[in-house]
Chains A and B, each alone.
Chain A
Amino acid sequence: MNSKQSILHSALLGVSLTLAATTVYAGGSGTAGDFTRGAKAWSDNCARCHNMREPKEFRDDQWRVTVAHMRVRGGLTGQEARDILTFLQSSN
Chain B
Amino acid sequence: MHISHVLRRARVRGDRRAIRVVSTLSVHPVALAVAATLAVGLPSVAGAADDLATVKSDVEQLKRDVAQANEWRTVNSNVHLTGYAAVSYSAPEAGDSSFGGTTFNPIFHYLYKDLLLLEAELEIELEDDGATATALEYLTLDLFVNDYLTVIAGKFLSPIGQFRQNLHPAWINKLPSAPLGFGHEGAAPLSDVGLQLRGGVPLGPAKVNYAVYTGNGPKLELNGVGTEIEAVMSEGFGADNNENKVVGARIGVLPVPNLEIGASAATGSTLDDTGATGKRDYDVIGADAALQIAGLDLRAEYVRSEIGAGPVAAVDPGEKQWKTWYGQAAYRIPGTPLEAVARFGKFTPPGANPTEQWAVGVNYVFAANVIAKLAYEANDTEGVEDDDRALAQIAYGF
A, B: real partners: yes
A61, B152: Cβ atoms under 8 Å? Answer: no
Question: Given A45-B257, A69-B119, do A64 and B72 touch, yes or no (CB 8 Å)?
Answer: yes
Please give, as numbers and ranges, the residues of chain A lying within 8 Å of B172 by CB-CB distance: 49-50
* Complex Cα spacing A49 to B145, Å: 25
The interface bits of chain A over 1-12 (1 if a CB of B lies within 8 angstroms of the residue's CB, else 0) are 110010011001
Please give, as numbers and ranges, the residues of chain B lying within 8 Å of A26 by CB-CB distance: 146-148
B247, A61: Cβ atoms under 8 Å? Answer: no
* Complex Cα spacing A71 to B146, Å: 12
Would you call the interface of chain B mostly helix, strand, loop, or mixed? strand
A24, B145: Cβ atoms under 8 Å? Answer: yes
Q: How distant is B31 from chain A, measured CB to nearest CB, in Å?
A: 62
Question: Given A64-B78, A66-B80, A66-B82, do A72 and B148 touch, yes or no (CB 8 Å)?
Answer: no
Question: Given A2-B308, A65-B109, A65-B111, do A12 and B148 touch, yes or no (CB 8 Å)?
Answer: no
Cβ of B176 < 8 Å from any Cβ of A? no
Cβ of B260 < 8 Å from any Cβ of A? yes
Please give, as numbers and ranges, the residues of chain B lying within 8 Å of A77 by CB-CB distance: 147-148, 199-202
A75, B199: Cβ atoms under 8 Å? Answer: yes
A5, B283: Cβ atoms under 8 Å? Answer: yes
Please give, as numbers and ranges, the residues of chain A lying within 8 Å of B111 by CB-CB distance: 64-65, 68
Please give, as numbers and ranges, the residues of chain B lying within 8 Å of A13 by CB-CB distance: 214, 247
Which residues of B (258-277) have their CB < 8 Å from a CB of A? 258, 260, 265, 267-269
* Complex Cα spacing A69 to B83, Å: 12
Report the interface size class on chain A: 35 or more
Q: Which stretch in B163-171, B177-185, B320-328 binds the other chain?
A: B163-171
Give the residue of B171, B199, B267 whose beta carbon is less than 8 angstroms from that of A9: B267
Give A contacts to B, CB under 8 Å.
1-2, 5, 8-9, 12-13, 15-16, 19-20, 23-24, 26-30, 44-45, 47-54, 57, 60-62, 64-66, 68-69, 71-80
Q: How distant is B260 from chain A, measured CB to nearest CB, in Å?
A: 6
Q: How distant is B375 from chain A, measured CB to nearest CB, in Å?
A: 17
Would you call the interface of chain A mostly helix, strand, loop, or mixed? helix
A16, B197: Cβ atoms under 8 Å? Answer: yes
Cβ of B219 < 8 Å from any Cβ of A? no
B171, A50: Cβ atoms under 8 Å? Answer: yes
Please give, as numbers and ranges, the residues of chain A lying within 8 Å of B146 by CB-CB distance: 23-24, 26-29, 78
Question: Given A16-B197, A69-B109, do A28 and B212 touch, yes or no (CB 8 Å)?
Answer: no
Please give, as numbers and ranges, the residues of chain B lying within 8 Å of A27 by CB-CB distance: 146-147
Cβ of B142 < 8 Å from any Cβ of A? yes
Cβ of B380 < 8 Å from any Cβ of A? no
Which single residue of chain A is at the shortest CB-CB distance from B248?
A12
Please give, as numbers and ranges, the residues of chain B lying within 8 Å of A62 by CB-CB distance: 80
Q: How distant is B319 from chain A, measured CB to nearest CB, in Å?
A: 12
Please give, as numbers and ranges, the residues of chain B lying within 8 Å of A50 by CB-CB distance: 171-172, 368, 397
B249, A16: Cβ atoms under 8 Å? Answer: yes
A48, B292: Cβ atoms under 8 Å? Answer: yes
Which single residue of chain A is at the shortest CB-CB distance from B211?
A75
Q: How distant is B7 from chain A, measured CB to nearest CB, in Å?
A: 71
Best-surrounded residue of A2, A75, A77 (most CB of chain B within 10 A): A75
Q: How distant is B153 from chain A, measured CB to nearest CB, in Å?
A: 12
The interface bits of chain B over 364-375 (1 if a CB of A lies within 8 angstroms of the residue's CB, else 0) are 010011010000
Which single residue of chain B is at the shortest CB-CB distance from A13?
B247
A16, B72: Cβ atoms under 8 Å? Answer: no
Give the residue of A8, A20, A52, A60 whose beta carbon is less than 8 angstroms from that of B149: A20
B78, A44: Cβ atoms under 8 Å? Answer: no
Which residues of B (129-181) have their CB < 8 Å from a CB of A? 142, 144-152, 162, 165-167, 171-172
B368, A5: Cβ atoms under 8 Å? Answer: no
* Complex Cα spacing A49 to B79, Å: 24
* Complex Cα spacing A79 to B166, Å: 21
Which residues of B (75-111) have their CB < 8 Å from a CB of A? 78-80, 82, 107, 109-111
Question: Given A19-B149, A49-B166, do A12 and B197 touch, yes or no (CB 8 Å)?
Answer: no
Please give, as numbers and ranges, the residues of chain A lying within 8 Å of B244 by CB-CB distance: 1
Which single residue of chain B is at the shortest CB-CB distance from A10?
B247
Which single residue of chain A is at the shortest CB-CB distance from B119?
A69
Q: How distant is A64 from chain B, measured CB to nearest CB, in Å?
A: 6
